[in-house]
Chains A and B, each alone.
Chain A
Amino acid sequence: MSRSLHALADVAAMTRRNLFAQVRVPALLATATALPVMWVLLFNYVFGGALQDGDVRYIDYLVPGVMALAVTFNLNNSSVAVAEDVNKGMIQRFRSLPITRWSMLAGRAVFDTLRNLLALGMILVVGFVAGFRYHDGAGRAIGGIALLLAFGFAASWLGSLIGLVARNVETASMGSLLFAIPLTFVSSLFVPLTTMPGWLQAVAKVNPVTHAVDASRALSLGGAAAEAITWTLAWTVGLLVLLVPLTARQYRKVST
């Protein structure tokens, strides 16, 4: 087999491995599917009345936001999974095998994208039941999903990096929450920025999740999306350029 075929085969084997883990470890399956569903229901029915602002129906405002929440929070799952692999000596095994060097990390990112796709699907199903509708056509809807998957792809690498650095599950989980919570809460995800104090608004405005959420909303509700999309893509590419080499370097340092 040629080297590029080997690389594909290795990434496929790694993705397959992650799929098996997902399906056979009940806790993982639950977090991937039940959690996003819970967020939609929780925020719509419990908080919806209080957070309602303006004439947009809250469910229409909420669903694109929860979709961004899911792909961002997924970095927690990635970091824990990778930390487990470090802990159990699997990274040592993989690094001593004749597989393409980056295939384990790539397999993680590919798998995370598939998991994100599943989560987005569940959110949409529950959202539709709760009254969410796309207002701007299928093309933009699909574009919105693709954009979020791309952003989630970048977030996944952050999760992998945290897992490799943390080396154990508890530290990885804590570390990734330290990123995921501020990223998702200090943004336009749950509430409009204008409801935040000035200094917090400033922080939220540079948060990539704000751009991802704004783009996601514009693509489903209608409205100018170009600026938000551009910013989201810029952040995605920028994060990948920064994180991928860092993660690869950290991976090479793992020997035990």
Chain B
Amino acid sequence: MAEEQITAEGLHKTYGDVGAVAGLDLAVPAGTVLALLGPNGAGKTTSVYMLTTLVRPDAGTARVAGYDVVRQADAVRGAIGLAGQFPAVDDFLTGRENLEQVGRLYHLGRRESRRRAQELLERMELLEAASRLAGTYSGGMRRRLDVAASLVGRAPVLFLDEPTTGLDPQGRLSLWGLIRELVGDGTTVLLTTQYLEEADQLADRIVVMDRGRVVADGTSDELKARYRGDRLELRLAAPADVPAALGALAGIGAHEPLAEDEHGVVTIAIDDGAAALPAVVRRLDDASIPVSAVSIRRPSLDDVFLMLTGRS
């Protein structure tokens, strides 16, 4: 088995009364991608901060690249790259100068810093803008520059906190491609995301977090398989009917029927969607709830998430 580059056991962090992270366990083998998936406030960013030595855990242990995050923090810092939630670039330096500066701070020396900056500017398609001040860059360019900065040190372990926020679809695909390349070269990546598709596409393993706790942990397929069978999706003609529909459909599937917030869509997990369909339609008809569309499909990660956290 590949050596584990990131391990965590029972990480806790509390701010005042709030348990930002309540018991995180992780094991990420080298050369793989782990996605921390969850909504805002789930504790993803705090978890990343603990693993990157920015925040001291209140309890629990963690090791990154073989070093303890509390007792060997300096060694951890030398082995990681971090691209935080908001791009951290100096507006008054050019793109190139920003990257060269990070190189110097990784103690690469002047020549190597220049080489590395050039290499990354090409890779992140920032060469044309390299001599412009970073303050003039668009949001997407700043994000790309920030990710480039996290790559300067050729760190074996990369932490990316919501890396594709603010990128257009092309930029997102491009970054996904880059992550795949890096992983192919042996880099270990831990990324946080709110985008289910991103986790699905990139991650070898997904840890789903909600309100500081891990609610599920597995590969994308494992998570979907846990929720076997079909998904019956009913779009109600009137979103206001949702509560009544939930009541009318209770007990039909293995799990409680679920409703997506604003659009009047009710989802039922059921073993055989086609067989159950007549009963579903009859119940709604009896309750005088008009339905505008029905579909039967396989579960997506979205459904899994909804199932786990009660919301999408």
Interface residue ranges, A against B (CB under 8 Å): 1, 6, 9-10, 13, 17, 20-21, 24-25, 88-90, 92-99, 255-256
Whether the pair A13, B105 counts as a contact (CB closer than 8 A) is yes
B96 proximal to A (CB < 8 A): no
Is the contact region of chain A dominated by helix, strand, or loop, or is it mixed? helix
In this assembly, does B133 line the interface, its C-beta being within 8 Å of a C-beta of chain A?
yes
Chain B: residues with Cβ within 8 Å of the partner, total of 30
Contact yes or no, B101 A13, CB < 8 A: yes
Residues of B within 8 A of A (CB): 49, 52-55, 74, 77-78, 80, 82, 84-93, 97, 101-102, 104-107, 133, 149, 153
Provide the residues of chain A in CB contact with B55, threshold 8 Å.
Answer: 255
Which residues on the A side are within 8 Å of B93 (C-beta)?
17, 20
Q: A92 near B84 (CB under 8 angstroms)?
A: yes
User: Which chain B positions have C-beta within 8 A of A24?
Assistant: 92, 133
* Bound Cα distance A255, B54 (Å): 5
Q: Which residues of B contact A6 (CB under 8 A)?
A: 107
Report the Cα distance A231→B257, complex, angstroms.
Answer: 76
Contact at A93–B149, with CB atoms within 8 Å? yes
Q: Once the chains bind, are A97 and B88 in contact (CB under 8 Å)? A: no
B78:A88 contact, CB within 8 angstroms: no
Asked whether B133 lies within 8 Å of A10 as measured between CB atoms, the reply is no
- Given A9-B107, A99-B105, 20 additional A-B pairs, CB 8 A: A13-B101, A13-B105, A17-B93, A20-B90, A20-B92, A20-B93, A88-B91, A89-B87, A90-B88, A92-B82, A93-B82, A93-B84, A93-B149, A96-B82, A97-B77, A97-B106, A98-B105, A98-B107, A256-B84, A256-B85
- Complex CA–CA separation, A75 to B92 (angstroms): 21
Question: Measured between alpha carbons, how far is A256 from B86 in the docked complex, in Å?
Answer: 9
10 contacts between A and B (CB under 8 A): A9-B107, A13-B101, A13-B105, A88-B86, A89-B87, A96-B54, A96-B82, A97-B106, A98-B74, A255-B49
